[in-house]
């Protein structure tokens, strides 16, 4: 049932700006500030000011532009997260398909005996059928038209979403997860399982414009190596960066991620690393 209890009244953009100014926020260009608030929700904007005020009163000297800089920093951070998860997803498809078809054959993915849980396997096949039916990709249509309606694993897996892939990996037999982790990743299967799930979680945040700055990401804490568990907070953005970094398929991508993040912090000096869980020497952890 919809909650119809007491709520705050509607406030115009002019009223929103007045509230911010009454709380001590300095606004140098009111017209530009109002234009910003017409396209960025007031409460989205307000979330980026949490570290700049206490008891709804802004610290002396804080400006509207300061808050905007944190918003744009976070926007750029989301783009980096999204961009670097893409090659992880593509590589995972390749790793699973190559290993599984090599061991069980092109159609071995249709047999529940080749997976850990039959129920989750049935869910996977149902999701796969839905994605194939919806797909307008040329390689799928070519296979249906010219070859067969039965798809080998290396074809069907290409339409699976990253979320489906992550769950699929977790439902492979324990030995298959161990073998894939040992062959393609630098950590054990329990880390790979967790990090893939974390990547799905933060990619969804990035794709839907969610906030990373000064936020705890509690739905899927990162499993960290023992040596880092007392110095990296598993629910802050840096822990997820660590997971992404370790899953990247090439050293060139890892180096590029470090460079992009360093350039981002340099471009937005008002964004403090501590509010993202980044240690001062964060590059050394990677």
Task: Return the pLDDT at 136.
Answer: 61
**To 10 degrees, what angle do helices 162-171 and 64-104 make?**
50
169 vs 177: CA distance, rounded Å: 7
Q: pLDDT tens for residues 143-154? A: 554 445 678 999
Length of the chain: 286
Residue 248 gets the label, from left (phi > 0), alpha (psi -120 to 50) or beta, of beta
Instruction: Give per-10-residue mean pLDDT for the chain (286 aa).
Output: 68 95 97 96 95 95 98 98 98 98 96 97 92 66 56 90 96 98 96 97 96 95 95 97 98 98 97 97 94
Contact between residue 14 and residue 34 where contact means Cβ atoms under 8 Å apart: yes
Task: Return the pLDDT at 47.
Answer: 95
31 vs 64: CA distance, rounded Å: 12
pTM for the structure as a whole: 0.91
Q: CB-based contacts of 11: which residues, under 8 Å, 6+ apart?
A: 19, 42
């Amino acid at each position: 049932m919809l909650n119809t209890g007491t709520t705050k009244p509607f406030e115009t953009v002019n009223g929103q700006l007045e509230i911010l100014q009454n709380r001590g926020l300095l606004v140098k260009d009111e017209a530009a500030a109002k234009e910003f608030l017409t396209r960025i929700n007031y409460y989205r904007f307000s979330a980026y000011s949490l570290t700049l005020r206490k008891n709804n009163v802004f610290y002396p000297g804080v400006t509207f532009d300061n808050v905007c800089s944190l918003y744009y920093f976070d926007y750029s951070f989301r783009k980096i997260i999204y961009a670097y998860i893409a090659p992880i997803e593509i590589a995972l498809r390749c790793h699973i398909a190559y290993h599984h078809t090599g061991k069980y054959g092109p159609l071995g993915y249709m047999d529940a005996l080749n997976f850990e849980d039959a129920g989750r396997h049935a869910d996977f096949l149902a999701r796969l059928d839905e994605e194939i039916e919806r797909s307008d990709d040329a390689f799928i249509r070519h296979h249906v038209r010219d070859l067969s309606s039965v798809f080998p694993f290396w074809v069907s897996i290409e339409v699976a979403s990253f979320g489906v892939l992550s769950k699929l990996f977790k439902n492979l037999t324990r030995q298959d997860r161990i073998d894939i982790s040992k062959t393609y990743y630098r950590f054990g299967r329990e880390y790979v399982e967790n990090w893939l799930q974390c990547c799905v979680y933060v990619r969804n945040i990035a794709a839907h414009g969610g906030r990373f700055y000064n936020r705890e990401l509690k739905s899927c804490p990162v499993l960290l190596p023992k040596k880092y568990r007392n110095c990296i907070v598993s629910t802050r953005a840096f822990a997820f960066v660590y997971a992404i970094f370790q899953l990247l398929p090439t050293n060139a991508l890892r180096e590029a991620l470090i460079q992009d993040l360093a350039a981002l912090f340099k471009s937005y000096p008002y964004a403090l690393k501590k509010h993202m869980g980044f240690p001062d020497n964060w590059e050394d952890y990677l």
